[in-house]
Amino acid sequence: MSTWEATGVGSHPGEDHLEAIRVVFGEVPGLPYLPELPARGVGADMVGRTAGLLVDLPVEVQPSGWRLTDRPGRDHQRAVDHLRRDLDGLEEIAHDYAGPIKLQVCGPWTLAASLELKHGDKALSDAGAVRDLTASLAQGLADHCAEVRRRVPGVTEVVVQLDEPGLPGVLAGTVPTASGFGRLAAVEEWRVEESLRLFESPVVHCCAPSVPFDLLRRAGVRGVSVDASLLRRREDDALGELFEAGMVLFLGVVPGRDTRLGDAGVVARPAVELWRRLGFAPDRLAEQVVLTPACGLAGASPAYAKAALTVCRKAARVLREDPAWSQGG
């Protein structure tokens, strides 16, 4: 856990998957990840890429977005082909790598709120469809993890990240129907907890306000990935319970789009301020907080994406190696 230091959320700019993988393994070697490049188009987006992993649930693109269908078509194949090229690139660049790796997929609830059923309603509108979708995703993700281990034998651990930006809306009942004229009913928390237990110790990423920290803790997830700028003091108690439970917080400390980046001390400050506020022992900070950009880097320039990862790693080392912060410095 404590060697992870820093990582990225998942997406990168551009279409050169080999260069993106090189950047990741060069800049965040403590916990590198398989980057996603949505600029490549259909099937490289978060929903399409994940839908390509589903077992026995083919998809296609309609004008309204991705939809479940009876048989795999061109769109489904594009998603599969993008991922296969990414895995080929990973195998080429990381062939002698030894250590953990992070894999990101769209989580089941954001996926259910995004995919349409064959007759046009959102999958989220049908509890049975959500169950089938979640089980299919869990199996497809397990197969994906096994494939990564096969291609990169030095991988010691696969850290699974479920991207759930839509989860607060699912719980609040604010997800629009397919027509856009209504809202789908709020989902009970116990259903979400139950679904997350189908995945092996995931990290749940949610870059939206109102992250359901208590629910995620009860579900037994390994960690939560959030945008530090969206945290509010009223969430301190929930965060404290998260840390007490031994969970890891992936804290987004630099913007996902081009801006002027501060030095490592400035970037580390949100983590330091949170830790002081919660009153935990200083030596636990580097073990339970991993620094990341606030969200994906798809909207950034390639140079900024690389710099953002670099400064996250440097800031994480400040937390680990500089005793001054724990003395009020």
Q: What angle do CA 172, 175, 176 make, to 5 degrees?
A: 140
**DSSP secondary structure of 60-92:** EEETTEEEE-SS--HHHHHHHHHHHHHHHHHHH
Task: Please state the pTM of the whole predicted model.
Answer: 0.96
Contact (Cβ atoms closer than 8 angstroms) between residue 23 and residue 16: no
pLDDT digit of tens for each residue in the chain (329 aa)? Answer: 457 999 999 999 999 999 999 999 999 999 999 999 999 999 999 999 999 999 999 999 998 899 999 998 899 999 999 999 999 999 999 999 999 999 999 999 999 999 999 988 999 999 999 999 999 999 999 999 999 999 999 999 999 999 999 999 999 999 999 888 899 999 999 999 999 999 999 999 999 999 999 999 999 999 999 999 999 999 999 999 999 999 999 999 999 999 999 999 999 999 999 999 999 999 899 999 999 999 999 999 999 999 999 999 999 999 988 766 666 55
| Token pair of 36 as six digits | 């996603």
Round to whole Å and give the CA distance between 163 and 165: 6
Q: How many other β-carbons are positioned within 10 Å of the β-carbon of residue 259?
A: 11
Round to whole Å and give the CA distance between 301 and 324: 34
Q: How many CA atoms lie within 13 A of 207 on its CB side?
A: 17
H helices of 160-252, in order, are 167-172, 189-196, 213-218, 236-244
